[in-house]
């Protein structure tokens, strides 16, 4: 059966990682002239840049010292990419293309022919059970493919493929070009380990690999400094933060896994969710509280990885990485891991009753609203998208939670996975479009512009980027008949339906509806401020109307991106529209699950309430930023005490980040100081004390070493005599007297 060999897809990115790191990258480094080598490329950037682009660079250098300062710590560039570097990209793309085609074949084959792969799935032939040692059987490294894995698989490989194609254009002339592509492959491999994992141990290994890859990629621009004026940390700091915050969630994850293993003796998903003696249903019979605790602990891992409140702070800062990485992290490989993991362990959650699911749903709903409120006032183009991701991930958890809490069999993990599936495409599109803007503005202004206030009217300069971004913005807002409409509406209406059983879900329903309106507002705020503006002709595509000031507020003249960038945008725009038409997904994922139907959705009045709220958001954004203009809006907000306070509140993320910094600085650091003092005085004290004691003894005992041979002889013969006496005494006591010795 062909599905047993889908480990080829799993190992393919690892292969390209190895080939790039040990092959083409070495070739690239070897062929690079010494003068523009990686070590001093940061300093010689000015020269290489001038050599690469010609004369127009010098103007920017002359008048603005500040911009020069920013350029100085930019990504080191090489004037011309070597063939080694280019082949790094080709290797990654070719292998990923093959994987992607194979994945789509596997998915379509199993969708069209339900018999080829059962719901239980099949184990891959790639497994290692430690040389058949029975004692190590629970710790086997084994992989499994089923419908859920296949659904995720196509998302990961497709997004990864498009991101790699895109990165060719985005990372042009970067000195770390080959390394970048190797990391992308490693990232994809890590995620595929999670996708194919058949037990908790393997998924945890993949989990940590994803953490490592994201660390490497977020901190890819190691030379870049922090920009306190824009409230942006350095990539290195952001990478460390992402890593550390994820570890906090992982503590819970590990504890949850340990509780499950302690009670059941197995890590295998199949065994845990089955009906045998090792299943949770059997092992936790009559103790669903402990199982609930275990599942909430496991969900903590998802909170960290999927950036849910209260561990959401790392994701916006992860924006410091290159934009293709952001797209990969947000669409397919990193934050989706949390949702996928909960979907994977859905039967275990279901076995624990509804409480764990309610926790999941509430965390998701609160996160969705929190992130949407924060996104309202962000001025960084990418950060708006980061918060929208957090918000949409919240939706996914709401989908999983409300579906499982009432009747886990009815929809299964469908609603959450459906939104994950559609979101992957439009979020990747949003990020890649944002990356296109940033890259093109970098060409035009010679500095990194991510502040929307320095953009405006970009639709005229880069129409393809603008249109594709607009499609994605409509999709994420839930515009009717685009993919986001179906997946998001399913979740909202499910929350409403299931609220009849669990009344607290009415709260979740209201939160998600509110979030839908806010989402539409902030997405169109970002679109209008960046691509359009007040007084634009044909919604900004025709430039500004006569008599109106120029819409573009930056310097230079931006241009549309090359085809390597626009091709993925167009493909993703198409995918964002059509991905929502897979109505059979629910029954594909879960046996006997009900599918959503087109007629049910469009004839449901609540659907149109959601759409109305979304339209209200769009209209309000149009009103504020096209009719009034953002300068005027800003003025009004600044002059009104209440609005100003609210603005500050959301701009500073409800001071949650500041609270964490305070907590870290004064509480955790204080505890760390106490721990350090304990370590240096008590722990080290014991060790040093023992060492001092031994040293002192040695100092005293060495006096016995006189150098006189006769004193040694005294010791020698005295020792023998003592031994003889001891033997005699022992014999006297044990054998009943010395005389018995003879």
Name the residue nearer to another protein (CB basis): 113 or 704.
704
Burial annotation 356-379 (CB, 10 A radius, 16+ → b, else e): bbbbbbbbbbbbbbbbbbbbbbbb
Closest separation in Å from C-beta 702 to another protein: 4
> What residues from 678 to 737 belong to the interface with another protein (CB under 8 A)?
702-703, 705-710, 713-714, 717
Quick check: 33 and 209 in contact, CB under 8 A?
no
Residue 509 has, within 13 A of its CA and on its CB side, a CA count of 19
Closest separation in Å from C-beta 696 to another protein: 15
Q: Residues in contact with another protein, total (CB under 8 A)?
A: 11
Closest separation in Å from C-beta 710 to another protein: 6
State the greatest distance between any 2 C-alpha atoms of the chain, in Å, as a whole number. 129
Give the 3-state secondary structure of residue 40: coil
Closest separation in Å from C-beta 726 to another protein: 20
CA distance 573 to 571: 5
Sequence-ordered strand ranges (E) for 461-613: none
Name the residue nearer to another protein (CB basis): 63 or 705.
705
Closest separation in Å from C-beta 719 to another protein: 14
Structure tokens that stand for 226 in this block: 């922090």
Residues 6+ apart with CB under 8 A from 669: none
Quick check: 25 and 139 in contact, CB under 8 A?
no
Alpha carbon 375 to its chain centroid, in Å, reads 18
Name the residue nearer to another protein (CB basis): 661 or 714.
714
Structure tokens that stand for 315 in this block: 């994701």
Closest separation in Å from C-beta 717 to another protein: 6
Backbone φ/ψ region at 722: left (φ over 0), alpha (ψ -120 to 50), beta: alpha
Structure tokens that stand for 513 in this block: 């509806």
Name the residue nearer to another protein (CB basis): 663 or 720.
720
Closest separation in Å from C-beta 714 to another protein: 6
Name the residue nearer to another protein (CB basis): 669 or 720.
720
Name the residue nearer to another protein (CB basis): 34 or 702.
702
Q: Residue 454's CB: how many other CB atoms inside 10 A?
A: 17
Beta bridge partners of 536: 544
> What residues from 344 to 383 belong to the interface with another protein (CB under 8 A)?
none
Name the residue nearer to another protein (CB basis): 65 or 708.
708
> What residues from 299 to 328 belong to the interface with another protein (CB under 8 A)?
none
Upstream peptide bond of 153 is cis (omega within 30 degrees of 0): no
Structure tokens that stand for 672 in this block: 């760390």
Closest separation in Å from C-beta 21 to another protein: 56
Upstream peptide bond of 310 is cis (omega within 30 degrees of 0): yes
Name the residue nearer to another protein (CB basis): 676 or 727.
727
Closest separation in Å from C-beta 711 to another protein: 9
Name the residue nearer to another protein (CB basis): 65 or 702.
702
CA distance 64 to 51: 20
Closest separation in Å from C-beta 688 to another protein: 24
Q: Classify residue 576 as exposed, middle or buried by CB count within 10 Å of its CB (0-12, 13-18, 19+).
A: buried
Name the residue nearer to another protein (CB basis): 733 or 742.
742
Q: Which residues bind another protein (CB under 8 A)?
A: 702-703, 705-710, 713-714, 717
């Amino acid at each position: 059966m062909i599905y047993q060999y889908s480990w080829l897809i799993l190992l393919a990115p690892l292969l390209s990682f190895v080939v790039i790191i040990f092959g083409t990258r070495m070739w690239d480094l070897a062929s690079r002239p010494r003068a523009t080598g990686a070590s001093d490329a940061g300093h010689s950037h000015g020269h290489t840049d001038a050599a690469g682009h010609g004369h127009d660079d010098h103007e920017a250098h002359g008048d603005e010292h500040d911009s020069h300062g920013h350029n100085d710590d930019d990504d080191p560039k090489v004037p011309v990419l070597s063939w080694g570097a280019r082949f790094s990209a080709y290797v990654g793309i070719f292998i990923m293309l093959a994987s992607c085609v194979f994945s789509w074949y596997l998915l379509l084959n199993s969708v069209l022919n339900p018999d080829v792969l059962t719901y239980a799935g099949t184990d891959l032939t790639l497994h290692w059970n430690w040389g058949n040692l029975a004692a190590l059987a629970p710790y086997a490294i084994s992989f499994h493919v089923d419908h859920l894995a296949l659904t995720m698989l196509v998302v990961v490989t497709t997004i990864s493929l498009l991101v790699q194609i895109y990165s060719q254009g985005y990372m042009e002339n970067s000195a770390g070009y080959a390394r970048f592509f190797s990391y992308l492959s490693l990232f994809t491999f890590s995620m595929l380990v999670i996708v194919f994992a058949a037990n908790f141990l393997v998924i945890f290994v993949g989990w940590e690999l994803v953490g490592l890859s994201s660390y490497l990629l977020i901190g890819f621009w190691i030379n870049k400094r922090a920009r306190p004026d824009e409230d942006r940390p350095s990539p290195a700091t952001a990478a460390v933060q992402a890593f550390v915050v994820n570890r906090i969630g992982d503590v819970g994850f590990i504890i949850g896994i340990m509780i499950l293993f302690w009670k059941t003796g197995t890590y295998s998903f199949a065994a845990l969710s089955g009906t045998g003696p090792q299943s949770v249903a059997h092992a936790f019979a009559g103790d669903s509280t402990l199982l609930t605790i275990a599942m909430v602990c496991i969900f903590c891992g998802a909170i960290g990885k999927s950036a849910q409140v209260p561990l959401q702070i790392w994701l916006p800062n992860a924006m410091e990485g290159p934009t293709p990485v952001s797209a990969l992290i947000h669409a397919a490989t990193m934050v989706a891991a949390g949702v996928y993991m909960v979907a994977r362990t859905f039967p275990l959650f279901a076995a624990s009753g509804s409480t764990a699911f309610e926790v999941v749903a509430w965390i998701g709903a609160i996160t969705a609203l929190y992130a949407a409120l924060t996104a309202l006032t962000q001025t960084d183009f990418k950060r708006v998208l980061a918060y929208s991701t957090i918000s949409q991930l919240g939706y996914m958890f709401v989908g999983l939670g409300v579906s499982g809490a009432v009747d886990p069999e009815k929809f299964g993990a469908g609603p959450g996975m459906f939104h994950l599936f559609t979101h992957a495409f439009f979020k990747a599109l949003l990020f890649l479009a944002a990356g296109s803007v940033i890259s093109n503005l970098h060409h035009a202004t010679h500095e990194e512009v991510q502040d929307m206030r320095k953009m405006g009217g970009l639709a005229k300069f880069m129409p393809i980027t603008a249109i594709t971004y607009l499609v994605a913005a409509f999709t994420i807002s839930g515009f009717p008949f685009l993919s986001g409409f179906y997946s998001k509406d399913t979740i909202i209406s499910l929350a409403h339906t299931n609220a009849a059983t669990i009344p607290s879900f009415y709260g979740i329903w209201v939160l998600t509806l509110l979030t839908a309106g806010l989402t539409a507002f902030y997405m169109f705020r970002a679109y209008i401020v960046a691509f359009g503006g007040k007084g634009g002709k044909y919604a900004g595509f025709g430039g500004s109307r006569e008599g109106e000031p120029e819409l573009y507020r930056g310097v230079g003249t931006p241009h549309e991106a090359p085809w390597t960038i626009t091709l993925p945008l167009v493909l993703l725009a198409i995918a964002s529209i059509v991905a929502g038409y897979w109505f059979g997904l629910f029954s594909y994922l879960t046996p006997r699950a009900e599918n959503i139907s087109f007629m049910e959705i469009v004839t449901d009045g609540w659907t149109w309430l959601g759409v109305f709220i979304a339209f209200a958001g769009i209209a309000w954004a149009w009103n504020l930023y096209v009719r009034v203009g953002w300068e005027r809006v800003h003025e009004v907000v600044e002059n009104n005490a209440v609005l100003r306070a609210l603005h500050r509140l959301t701009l500073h993320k409800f001071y949650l980040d500041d609270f964490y910094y305070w907590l870290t600085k004064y509480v955790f650091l204080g505890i760390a100081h106490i721990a350090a003092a304990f370590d240096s005085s008590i722990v080290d004290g014991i060790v040093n004390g023992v060492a001092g004691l031994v040293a002192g003894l040695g100092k005293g005992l060495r006096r016995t070493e006189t150098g006189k041979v006769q004193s040694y002889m005294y010791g020698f013969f005295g020792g023998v005599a003592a031994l003889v006496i001891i033997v005699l005494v022992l014999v006297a006591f044990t054998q009943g007297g010395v005389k018995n010795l003879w």
